[in-house]
Chain A
Amino acid sequence: MMLNQFLLLAAALFCLGVYGVLTRRNGVLVLMSVELILNAVNINLVAFGAFQDNVMGDVFAVFVIAVAAAEVGVGLAMVLLMYRNRKSIDFSEVDMMKG
C-alpha cells in the first residue's frame, strides 16, 4: 500500500473536521469536529509509524487518544457551563470578545 493513500485520507478527514469546527453552531458538534481532526492526526501518526517500521507512531497515537479524552471532558464541561449560564450552546451568539 502507498503511504499517500493514508495521508490523503487523513488530510480529507482533517479538512472535514475544520469545516465542522468553523461552521457548526452547536457547541457539542464543534467538539465532535475537533475529534475528527484529532483522528486525522492519529491516522497520520500510525501510518508514519508503519512506514518507518517502529512503534513510535503507535505510542504517540495512544497518547493522543488519552489527551483527546481529557479534551472532550473539559470541553463538554465548558459547554455545559455555557448552557447553564446562557440557556444556549450556540457559538455564534457568544461575542464577548467583540472589540
Chain B
Amino acid sequence: MSFLTLAVEAVPEVSFTNDASWILENVWLIPLLPALSFLGILFFGKRMPKGGSELGIAAIGAAFLLAIFANVAWMDHRDNFDGPAYSALHGEVDTHGDDHGDEEEHAAPFAITATETGSSALDDVTVSEDVLLTAAVEAAEGEESHPAVAVLTGREWLVNGGVPFMIGTLLDGPSVLMLFVVTMISLLVHVYSTDYVAGDRRYTHYFAFLSLFSASMLFFVISRSTLQLIMAWELVGVCSFALIGHWWEEKPNSDAALKAFLTNRVGDIGLLVGMTILFFSAGGTFDIITINEMAVAGEISQTALTWAAISLTAAVMSKSGQFILHTWLPDAMAGPTPVSALIHAATMVVAGVFMIARLYPVFYEGYSIPGSSINGLAVIGSVTVVFGGLLAFVQNDIKKVLAYSTVSQLGYMVLALGVGAWTAAIFHLFTHAFFKAGLFLGSGSVAHSVHSFDMKKDMGGMRKFMPTTFKTFIICSVALAGVFPTAGFWSKDEILVGTGGLGVGAEKANGSYHLMLIMGLVGAALTGAYMTRAIYLTFFGEFRGHGTPHESGPRITVPLIILSVFAAGAGLLNLPPGFLAGSASNPTGWQERFGHFIEPSAAYFPAISHAVPSWWLAVIASVAGLIGPAIAYWYYFIKVDSLAKETGESLTELPDGLTTTNSLASAGHAFLVNKYYLDHLYNDVIVAAVKGPIAKGAYWFNQNVLDKVIDTAGETSVKSGQFIYDKVDQGLIEGAVNGSGFLSSQSGQGLRRMQTGKVQQYAALLFAGATILAGIFIIFV
C-alpha cells in the first residue's frame, strides 16, 4: 500500500513514535508510584503515624500530578508533533512513497513537518506549506489530517518460541484520559476513605489494596501488549476481590467477593480466548498497535475478528457488568463505599469498556459496525441500559440503586461503542466517572451518618441534616439524568446521536441503529425516574432512622464538592459543532476538543465517521429524560409527600398503589382544601360560581384520566422492574448459578467417599495416575 493511496483514503498512515517529550515516554512512573506505595504500606504501614494512608495519598497525589503533566504534554504532542513516526505494518514510512515491508520499528523516521514538500500530499492542497496543521484547519476541512501519533515505548521482556514479548507503554488519547480520571478519582477516594474507614480493623490493609487497585488500573490503561492487558485485567480483578471482601468476617461480604471474582473468571475465559485468537490471526504478536493496524488494513480475516470480538465481548460482559453477567455488581456493594465509588467510576468496570476502546478495530471490523443496524455489542449495551434502569427502581438499598444505575450507564458506553460512536462512549465514561463517583461518595456520606444503606428504613429528610451532601448529590443526579447543561447531557446526547437511528438528524453516523436509539431514550427516562425516587427516599420526607445524623467532615464533603463541580461542567469539554463557536483567532473554540485530543485518529484506529449532532434529537432526548423524573416526581414528591404530611408519618410509597389511588387523591384534595381554607373563605363567591360543571369536569379529568395515565405508567415501570428483578435476575440467572452449584455439590458427595484422608493413599493414586499418563504419552506420543 503506497503512501499516496493511503492519503487518498484519508487514513493517516502512521501510528506511533518513540520520540516524544519526557513525560510521555515515562508514563510508567504513574502506575509505579501507587505500586510502590502498596509495598510500602504493606511493609511499613502499621508503623506509620496514620497507618499508611499518608503514603497512599502522597503516591496517588504525585501520580495525579504526573497524569496532569502527561495530559498537558499530550495536548501539545497531539497538535504539534512533527518528529519521526512509524507504522507497525509498513515500518519505515517516508515522504517518498516508498513501501518497505519491514516488520516493526527497524525503520527510518517519517517526518511530518509541513515544510517538507512531500508532506503536503498528506493533506489537502489548501494547507499552506509552512502553516502547522492546526485543529482549526482540520475542522474547516472536516477531516483529521494531522494523525494522533501514539507514543510507544518498551523493551523486550523475554523471547519464547521465537516470539518476542514486549513490555512497555502505549500512550495515546484514551490512555492519558484514563490516567487523569483514575488518578483523580482515586485521589479523592483516598482522601475520603481516611474519614470513612477511620478506625477500621484493617485500615492499613485497606489502603494498601486501594493503592494496588489504582496501580493495576493505571498499568492497564497504558499497556502496550495484550499480555499486559490480561495481566492488569486480572490484577484489577484480584484487588476488587480483596476490597469487596474487606469485611470478610460477615458471610455475605465474602460471598459477594467470591461472586465478583468467579463471575469475572467466566468472562476471563472469553478474554483469554479472544486474545489468543488475535495473537494467532495477527501472525503471532501481542502488540496492540500491530493487531489494530492489521485489523484496520484488513489483514486479519473477518471470521477471526468476529470470533475474537465475540470472545472479548464475553469478557466485557463480566467485567463491565453487562446483562446477563452483571449480577456480581450489585452484590459487590458489600465492600466499603469508597471502593464502590472507585470500582464504578474509574477502575474495575470501566476496564471492560476501555478494552473495547483499546482494541476497537477488532470490534469495528469484527462486528461490521459501519453501515449496519444491529450487532452484538450494541444489543448487549442497549438491553443493559433498559434492564439496569428498571432494576434500579425496586432497590431499597441506596447503593444498589446506584449499582444498577452503573450497570445501565455502562450499557450506554457499550451501546455507543457498538454503534461506532467511539468518542461518545469514552466521553460518557469520562463524565460518568465524576457524577457516579460523586453519587457513591454522597451515598456513603449519608450512610456514614445513619449507619445503614436502607433508604426506606433508615433515611429520609436527610437534606436538613446534611446540606452539602444533599446539594452535591442533587447536582450529580441531575448530571446522571442528563439534564441540560450538565455533563451527562452532552455525553448521553452524543451517544444517542451516534446511533444514527430513525434518521433523526444524525447524518454521517456509522450505521442506522434504530432500536438502540429507542432503548437509549427509554433508558434516559428511567435514569431520571429512579434517581428522583432515590433522592426523595433519602433526602425528603421525615427522618426514619435512629439518632441524630449530622453532616460529614471536610474530608468527605470536599471530594463531593470537587466531583459535583466536574459533574456539572465536564460536558463543556466536548461541545458539539455549532455550539458556542469560538472567536476569529480560534474558530473552533471549545468544540469537540475532547474528541480531538482523545480520539486516536491514526493508522491503528478505524476510520470511523462522526455523527453530526442535531438540535432535534437533543430536544427529544431532553423531553424523554424529563418524562421519567416528572412521573417519579408526581408520585413521590406530590402524592407520597402529601400523604405523608397528611398522616404525619414518613412514607416511602403509597400504601396500596392503584387501588387506593382515589381515596388518596381525595385525601390529598381534602388536605388541599384545608390548607387553603382561608382562601376558600375569601373567594367563596367566585369559587362558588366556578365550582359548577367546569370544576367537576376538570376534577374528573384529573382524577380519572391524568392520574390513571401517570399512575399506570409508574406502576408499569415498577412492576416490570420488579418482574425482571424477581424472575429474570433472581430466578433465571441466580437459578442457573445455584443449579450449577447444586450439581457440583451432588457430584462432590459421590466423590467424597474416595477421600479417606490418608495421605499415602492419595500419594498412591497420584503416582498411579501419573504413571498411567506417562505410559500413555510414551506409547501414543
A76-99 vs B: 1/0 string, CB under 8 Å?
A: 000000000000000110111111
Contact of A99 among B755, B760, B763 (CB under 8 A): B755
Cα distance, A96 to B767, chains bound together (Å): 21
Q: In the assembly, what is the distance between CA of A91 and CA of B757, in Å?
A: 10
Report yes or no: A92 in contact with B757, Cβ–Cβ below 8 A.
no
Q: Are A22 and B757 in contact (CB under 8 A)?
A: no
B251 at the A interface (CB under 8 A):
no
* A75–B760 CA distance with the chains assembled, in angstroms: 15
Q: Are the C-beta atoms of A98 and B760 separated by less than 8 Å?
A: no
Give Cα A96 to B762, complex, Å: 13
B763 cross-chain contacts in A, Cβ below 8 A: 21-22
A91 near B760 (CB under 8 angstroms)? yes
Contacting pair A94 B755 (CB below 8 A): no
CB contact list, B728-781 vs A, under 8 A: 752, 754-760, 762-764, 767
- Are A97 and B759 within 8 A (Cβ)? yes
Pair B767/A18 contact, Cβ less than 8 Å: yes
Q: Determine the chain A residues whose CB is within 8 A of the CB of B757 once the complex forms.
A: 94-99
User: Across the interface, do B764 and A22 meet the contact criterion of CB distance under 8 Å?
Assistant: yes
Contacts of A97 in B (CB 8 A): 755, 757, 759, 762
Contacts of B762 in A (CB 8 A): 97
Q: Which residues on the A side are within 8 Å of B758 (C-beta)?
A: 91-92, 94-95
Chain A residue nearest to B752 (CB atoms) is: A99
Q: A99 vs B764: C-alpha distance in the bound complex, in angstroms?
A: 17
The docked-state distance in angstroms from the alpha carbon of A97 to that of B757 is 4
A-B contact count (CB 8 A): 32
In the complex, are the beta carbons of A98 and B767 less than 8 A apart? Answer: no
**Nearest Cβ in chain B — how far from A75, in angstroms?**
13
Structural contact, A98 and B755, CB atoms closer than 8 A: yes
- Quick check: is A54 within 8 A (CB to CB) of the other chain? no
Look across to chain A and name the residue whose beta carbon is closest to the beta carbon of B762. A97
B755 touches A23 (CB 8 A): no
Report whether A23 and B760 are in contact in the complex, using a CB–CB cutoff of 8 Å.
yes
Query: For A98, what are the chain B residues with a Cβ–Cβ distance below 8 Å?
Result: 755-757
Residue of A nearest to B749 (CB): A99
B685 to chain A, nearest CB (A): 90
Determine the distance from Cα of A98 to Cα of B755 in the docked complex, in whole angstroms.
5
B384 to chain A minimum Cβ distance, whole angstroms, is: 41
Distance in angstroms between the alpha carbons of A95 and B760 in the assembled complex? 10
In the complex, what residue of chain A is closest to B759 when comparing beta carbons?
A: A91
Chain A residues with CB under 8 A of B754: 99
Q: Which residues of B contact A30 (CB under 8 A)?
A: 760
Please name the residue on chain B nearest to A30 by beta carbon: B760
Min Cβ gap B239→A in Å is 32
Tell me the complex Cα distance, A94–B764, Å. 16
Q: Which residues of B contact A21 (CB under 8 A)?
A: 760, 763
Given B752, B755, B767, which contacts A22 in the complex, CB threshold below 8 Å?
B767
Which residues of B are found within 8 Å of A94, using beta-carbon distances?
A: 757-759
Distance from A4 Cβ to chain B, minimum over Cβ atoms (Å): 15
Q: Which positions 12-27 of chain A face chain B at CB distance < 8 Å?
A: 18, 21-23
CA gap between A97 and B755 in the complex, in Å: 8
A91 contact set on B, CB distance < 8 A: 758-760
Residue of B nearest to A93 (CB): B758
On chain A, the residues within 8 Å of B764 by CB distance are 22
Minimum Cβ distance to chain A for residue B395 (Å): 40
Alpha-carbon separation in the docked complex, A72 to B311 (Å): 49
How many Å lie between the Cα of A94 and that of B752 in the bound state? 17
B756 & A95 in contact (Cβ 8 Å cutoff): yes
Residue of B nearest to A94 (CB): B759
Give min CB distance, A26 to chain B, whole Å. 12
Nearest neighbor of A24 in chain B, beta-carbon distance: B760
CA distance A6 to B589 in the complex (A): 83
Residue of B nearest to A18 (CB): B767
What's the nearest-Cβ distance from chain B to residue A30, in Å?
A: 8
Distance in Å from the Cβ of B754 to the closest Cβ of chain A? Answer: 8
A30, B758: Cα distance in complex, Å? 14
Q: Give Cα A83–Cα B759 distance, bound, in whole angstroms.
A: 17
Contact partners of A23 in chain B: CB under 8 A:
760
Report the Cα distance A95→B763, complex, angstroms: 13
Q: Which residue of A lies closest to B751 (CB)?
A: A99
In the complex, are the beta carbons of B760 and A22 less than 8 A apart? Answer: yes
Contact call B755/A92, Cβ cutoff below 8 A: no
A51 to B643, CA, bound (A): 95
Pair B760/A92 contact, Cβ less than 8 Å? yes
Complex Cα distance A18/B758, Å?
16
The residues in B between 209 and 248 inclusive whose CB is less than 8 angstroms from any CB of A are: none
Q: Across the two chains, which residue of chain B brings its CB closest to A22?
A: B764
Query: Which residues of the other chain, A, contact B756 by a CB distance below 8 angstroms?
Result: 95, 98
A92, B759: Cα distance in complex, Å? 8
> In whole angstroms, how far apart are the Cα atoms of A98 and B752 in the complex?
8
Q: How far, in whole Å, are A97 and B762 apart by their CA atoms in the complex? A: 10
> 0/1 per residue, B538-563, Cβ < 8 Å to A?
00000000000000000000000000
Residues facing B in A43-99 (CB within 8 A) are 91-92, 94-99
A23 to B758: give the CA distance in the assembly, Å: 11
A97 to B764, CA, bound (A): 16
Please give, as numbers and ranges, the residues of chain B lying within 8 Å of A18 by CB-CB distance: 767
Closest to A97 in B: B757
Interface of chain B residues 315 through 342 with chain A (CB within 8 A): none
**Roughly how many angstroms separate A69 CA and B709 CA in the complex, as a whole number?**
84
Please give the distance in Å from B771's CB to the nearest CB on chain A: 9
B759: chain A residues at CB < 8 Å are 91, 94, 97
Q: A28 vs B681: C-alpha distance in the bound complex, in angstroms?
A: 104
Interface-centre pick from A18, A21, A98, A99 (highest chain B CB count, 10 A):
A99
In the complex, A72 Cα to B762 Cα: how many Å?
21
**Which residues in A have their C-beta under 8 angstroms from that of B755?**
97-99
* Distance, CA A23 to CA B764, complexed state (A): 9
Whole-angstrom distance from the CB of B774 to the nearest CB of chain A? 12
Bound-state Cα–Cα, A39 to B752, Å = 36
Name the residue among B754, B760, B762 with the largest chain A CB count within 10 angstroms: B760
Q: B764 — nearest CB in chain A belongs to which residue?
A: A22
Nearest neighbor of B768 in chain A, beta-carbon distance: A22
In the bound complex, residues from chain B placing their C-beta under 8 Å from that of A96 are 757
Give CA–CA (A91, B764) in the complex, Å.
14
Question: What is the chain B residue whose CB lies nearest that of A92?
Answer: B758
User: Which residues of chain B (8-33) have a CB below 8 Å from chain A?
Assistant: none
Min CB distance B564 to A, Å, is 55
Alpha-carbon distance between A99 and B762 when the two chains are bound, in angstroms: 12
- In angstroms, how far is the closest chain B Cβ from the Cβ of A8? 15
Name the distance in Å between B544's Cβ and chain A's nearest Cβ: 49
A47 to B757, CA, bound (A): 38
Which B residue sits closest to A95, measured CB to CB? B757
How far, in Å, is A78 (CB) from chain B's closest CB? Answer: 12
Closest A residue, CB atoms, query B771: A18
Q: Which residues of B contact A95 (CB under 8 A)?
A: 756-758
A contact residues vs B (CB 8 Å cutoff): 18, 21-23, 30, 91-92, 94-99
A sample of 14 inter-chain contacts (CB < 8 A) reads: A18-B767, A21-B760, A21-B763, A22-B760, A22-B763, A91-B759, A91-B760, A95-B756, A95-B757, A95-B758, A98-B755, A98-B757, A99-B752, A99-B754
Q: List 12 additional A-B contacts (Cβ < 8 Å) besides A91-B759, A94-B757, A97-B755.
A: A18-B767, A22-B764, A91-B758, A94-B758, A94-B759, A95-B756, A95-B757, A96-B757, A97-B757, A97-B759, A98-B757, A99-B755
Complex A-B, nearest 6 residue pairs according to Cβ-Cβ distance, in ascending order: A98-B757, A95-B757, A99-B755, A97-B757, A99-B752, A22-B764
